[in-house]
Structures are given as structure tokens and as C-alpha cells.
Copies of this chain bind each other. A is one copy, B any other.
Amino acid sequence: MQKIESHASFGGTQEVWQHASSTLGCDMKFAVYLPPQAADGPCPVLYWLSGLTCTEQNFITKAGAQQHAAEHGLILVAPDTSPRGEGVPDGDGYDLGLGAGFYLNATRAPWDTHYRMHDYVVDELPALVDAHFPTTTARGISGHSMGGHGALVLALRNPGRYRSVSAFSPIVAPSRVPWGEKAFTAYLGDDRDAWKAWDACELVRDAGQRVELLVDQGDADEFLEEQLRPELLREACGVAGHSVQLRMQPGYDHSYYFIASFIGDHLAHHARALKG
């Protein structure tokens, strides 16, 4: 594992690391923010999953999360959004293949060799992070858009793994929207029953855990009606009796300007759960 970037930031350090991933069969980069408190002892970790087209860079350069992580003593870990490099297949368009891993384990060729982002984010990456950085066992997860889908799905699929969950503008029902239908057809095949294991609105029905889902959604988001449809999550949670706090934020769009405006709220939410 090799450190390829390091910048002082709010009294801590914003780093980027590269390593050979056995799960994904390629080299991967991830970003880690170490707050000042990490110099004195272990800190909880918040995993951040980014959206379509992003790399490990978008969140760390645009979200303004470091100041809040420094305030609360949280380590932030932001992986890339897909496997990368020679031999990794790509799709047509920005919404399939590179930059569009959808945080699942693909079962169909040619994707099934490398596209195993669920196992990478849930198992390999935390093992690596815990081995190299001063972490406690308390983990939270959050993300944006495709990464909001990832945060919800990873938390719902892995009860007890994450103490706190939040999402910005998540794809809550990928089985029922164009982005998800395209990706799931490619990665998982035509059998829609197999899609349920990767759809937050399906998973919430049988969720083994009851961690509250905090969701922020801008009502001026250009993808709201066609791709995001947060009301489906509210309905599914209502039926299942699962706790969800869905906040419609007037005037906000799908950009990092939205994330930056509310990331402080989210980090405070995670800090309460992770340090409590």
C-alpha cells in the first residue's frame, strides 16, 4: 500500500492511498482523512460512497467535510466508484462500467471478474483501513446518488456492520428507474428477482437492523423524478416500520453545492451514533 497524496487540512491530514485489490483484481485508490484526534488515539470511521463518474477525489475536494470530521474526531474514507485499469471492462456511457460500479457484486460476464464493489467496500477496504490507521470498530456509511444507493444497500444487507447511515440524493429504488435498470441488467442479468438483493426499497422490507436512515434530497434536483424517487423509500419504510428521516431541501440541486451545505448535519448525525 502506497501513499500518493498528503495534505494538511484543518489540523489533520488528507491522504490518498493506492493498493492492489484482491477482490477487484486491479489497483485501487482511496482517500482517507485523519482528523487531529487520530494522532492521540483511535477514531470511528465514516465511509463515503460517491456517485456516477466520480473517483476518490470528488468528495475530498468539494464536500468540505474535513472541518466537521476534525471537529468530531471522525476518520473519513472515500473509495473510488468502480474497479479501474487495464483489463477492466467499461460500458457505454457514464452510467455503466468505469465510474459506475453500483456497489454490488456482478454475476454476469464480462463484469463478474472485476465488478465486486460490495465486497471491496464491506470487507477488503475496512480490513486495510483498520490495519493501517488508528480506527475504533465503530463504522458509519454515507454517500451521494449512486453512492447514496450504495450506503443504504450496504447498511441494509449487513446488519450490525454500520452504526449510522445517511445519504444525499440516493437512488432508492434502482430496480424501478433507468439508471438502475440499465446497470442491474448488465451486472446481474434479466431476472428481476435477483435485483431485489441490491435495492434499498426491497431490502428495507426484511431489514434485520433498525438503524435510522437519514436522507437529504434537494427538491430542485434534475434527477429527482426520473432516477431518485425518494417517496418510494418513505413508502417502503412506512410499510416495514423502518425509521427514516427524509428531508426535502427546497431549491437544492444534485451538485456538491448541495452536499457541502448539509454535510455538517450528516457528520454530526454520524458522530452522535459512532461516539455514543
- Is A17 an interface residue, CB under 8 A from the partner? no
Number of interface residues of A (CB under 8 A): 24
**Which of B11, B14, B218, B257 makes the CB contact (< 8 A) with A14?**
B257
- Is A107 an interface residue, CB under 8 A from the partner? no
**How many chain copies does the complex carry?**
2
Query: Do the beta carbons of B62 and A258 come within 8 Å of each other?
Result: no
Query: Do the beta carbons of A260 and B8 come within 8 Å of each other?
Result: no
Chain B residues within an 8 Å CB radius of A66: 257, 260-261
Chain B residues within an 8 Å CB radius of A253: 7-8
For window 53-86 of A, CB contacts with B under 8 Å fall at: 61-62, 64, 66-67
**What's the least CB distance linking A57 to chain B, in Å?**
11
Query: Do the beta carbons of B61 and A8 come within 8 Å of each other?
Result: no
Chain B residues within an 8 Å CB radius of A250: 8
Interface centre among A218, A257, A260 (most CB of B within 10 A): A257
Query: Do the beta carbons of A7 and B64 come within 8 Å of each other?
Result: no
Residues of chain A having any CB pair with chain B under 8 Å: 7-11, 14, 61-62, 64, 66-67, 218, 220, 249-253, 255-258, 260-261
With A8-B218, A8-B261, A66-B257 known, 12 other A-B pairs at CB within 8 A are: A7-B253, A7-B257, A7-B258, A8-B249, A8-B253, A8-B258, A9-B258, A10-B261, A11-B261, A61-B61, A64-B64, A64-B67
